[in-house]
Amino acid sequence: MPRWAIALLIALLMVTVGCAARARLPAAPSTGAPGSSTGSLSARTGSDLPRPSASSTPVTVPWSPRGVRSANKVIPAATPSAVPAEPRACTGAIRLVPGSARTTSSSGGYLLTTFVVRFGASKPCWANGGLFAVDMLAADGTALPIGSMPAGPYHPPLHIAAGQLVFGSIRWAPGPNSPRPVRLAFVLGDAPSVSPISISVADVDVPPLSGGHGPRDAWQSTAYGRLTSAADPASLASLTATVIAPATVRVSSKLVYAVRLTNDTDTAVPLPGCLQFAEQLSVVPLKIPTTVGTEGPLNCSRLPPAIPAHASVTMQMQLDTAGQVPGSGRLTWSLLDGGHAVVEADVPVTVRAH
C-alpha cells in the first residue's frame, strides 16, 4: 500500500476515536446567574424552601411576620436554682474553650470580652457569681496598674452542673498614658492548684482616649470580670445573642434591626422544631414604662438545622412602634424555650417624636 494511503487511513482512525471520546463526556451544566438555582427552587416560597445546611456560612435569615402577634407581657427567665446554706465550691481544673473569647465595645468607652470555660468538677457545685479581678498584661508580661474595682451590685453564687459550660465576661480599658495590653489574665476558683486563664487581646482595636467627648472616655485603667451563666453543651442556652439596631427610631414607624445568634462553644447547637422569640421596646417617660412588643415563631424555613461551633446566624427583625411614646428606651430580644427566655440581649434605642 502506498505511504500516502497509510497516512490517510491513520488520520481517519484518529478522527473517529476523538469523536467517540467526546460523545462520552457529560453535558456541561447550564450557567445560570451566580448563586442561583436552575431547578424548581425559584418557584418555591414559604415553608417549601429547604433549610440551609449547618455548614453554610455566613447565614442571614430574612424577616417574616407570619405567626407573629402583639405581646407586651414580661417574658420570664428560667427559675434559678436555690442557693443552699453551705454551697459546694467548685474545684478541679478550669480550662478556657479554645476560640471562645470575643471582644466588642461596651458602654462608657470600655471593651467587653466574653469567654467560655469548662469546670473540671465531677459533681454539681457553686461558683462565685460576683466580680473578680483581672490583670491586663503588657507585651513584656508585666501587669499594668489598674484602678479600683466596682463594689457591686451583689450577684448570688452560680450553680454549675457536672459537664456544663460556663460563660463569663470581662469589662476592661487601659487608662491615660497606659501601655497597650496584649493579654487578660485571671484566676477562677479558690484551689491553690488552679492555673490562671489567659486571653489574648493583641489583635483587638483599642480606640484612643477622647477626653470625654468621643467613643472612649475611660479615665482610669479598669479590668474586672464576672461569670454570668452556665449551660449544657449543645443546648439553646449555650448560644449568645447580639442586637444590632439603630440608635433612634421615629414613633409609629417600624424598627428594623438584626439579631446575631452566636455559638462560641466547640459543640454544634441544633435548632430543633420552630423556635419562638419575643421582642419589646420599653420607654420610661415617668415612673411607669410604656412597652410595645411582639412574640411568635422565627422564620423557621430559612433557619439552618444547627449552628456549628464558633459560627453564627444573623436574623433580620422588625418591630412596629405604634403606640409607643417618645423618649429614651431599651430594645430587648429573647429566644424562648418552653415559654422562658433562655437567651436574651438588649440595646438602648431612643424613640423620636419626628
Q: In this structure, what DSSP letter does residue 14 have?
A: H
| Phi-psi category of residue 247: left, alpha or beta, with phi > 0 → left and psi -120 to 50 → alpha | alpha
In a domain, 43, yes or no: no
Number of domains in the chain: 2
Residue whose C-alpha is closest to residue 159's, from 238, 64, 84, 49: 84
**CATH code, 258:** 2.60.40.10
The reply to whether 218 and 315 lie within a common domain is no
Q: What is the pLDDT of residues 135-166, one digit of tens each?
A: 999 999 999 988 877 877 788 899 999 999 99
DSSP lists the bridge partners of residue 69 as 295
The reply to whether 261 and 196 lie within a common domain is no
Residue at a domain's end among 188, 215, 231? 231
The reply to whether 207 and 105 lie within a common domain is yes
Enter the C-alpha cell of residue 63: 424577616
**CATH code, 209:** 2.60.40
In a domain, 337, yes or no: yes
pLDDT score recorded for residue 57 = 59
pTM across the whole model: 0.76
In a domain, 7, yes or no: no
Residue at a domain's end among 200, 231, 262? 231
Residue at a domain's end among 169, 196, 231? 231
Domain encompassing residue 193: 97-231
Q: What is the C-alpha R_g of the chain?
A: 28
Residue whose C-alpha is closest to residue 271's, from 307, 240, 239, 301: 307
Q: How many CB atoms lie within 10 A of CB 189?
A: 21
Q: What is the pLDDT of residues 63-107, one digit of tens each?
A: 999 999 998 777 766 667 777 878 888 877 889 999 999 998 877
In a domain, 41, yes or no: no
Enter the C-alpha cell of residue 305: 438545622
